[in-house]
Amino acid sequence: MVETLWAPWRMEYILEDPKDSDGCVFCLPEGHLGPLPERLVLWSDPTVFVMMNRYPYNNAHLLVAPRRHVATLADATPLERSAIIELTAKATRALEEGMSPDGFNMGVNQGKVAGAGISEHLHLHITPRYNGDTNYMTVIGETRVIPEHLRRTYEKLVGLFN
């Protein structure tokens, strides 16, 4: 049987020319503060920012990162580490208000062997969890279903960071 999954945001990635890449997906434009819709950045300040994961594990999967390009928690300054935790708390409150999850998985995958897809720039994952989000599709079909388009989720969350 042929399975069809609808993931319209993947076309942008498929058609992207790697030569056009401006480097690290986590490095924001110098001096830009606040939301950046084209990069799915919900909020930023001079030290840290929060963005949506373009390839989420679950609906509304967020990433919190320092603006400075550092690879490890040990390389981050005390201010950056503190700001990451504070923004993580703010992000979970926004997710609770905007998405009503039943819980969260949060963590840092530091290094390729630990599962970091982009190990060169430190980032903390916030994955909202919902009762029933691990169902037969994931368990038997080895397929995740993201029930809402990324842009729709972005619009729900962006105003909650002001």
C-alpha to C-alpha distance for 29 and 79, rounded to whole angstroms? 20
Token pair belonging to 142? 């080895």
Pairwise CA distance, residues 91 & 49, whole Å = 10
Q: Which two tokens stand for residue 78?
A: 């005390």
The kind and range of the H/E element at 49 are strand 48-52
List, by residue number, the catalytic residues. Answer: 123
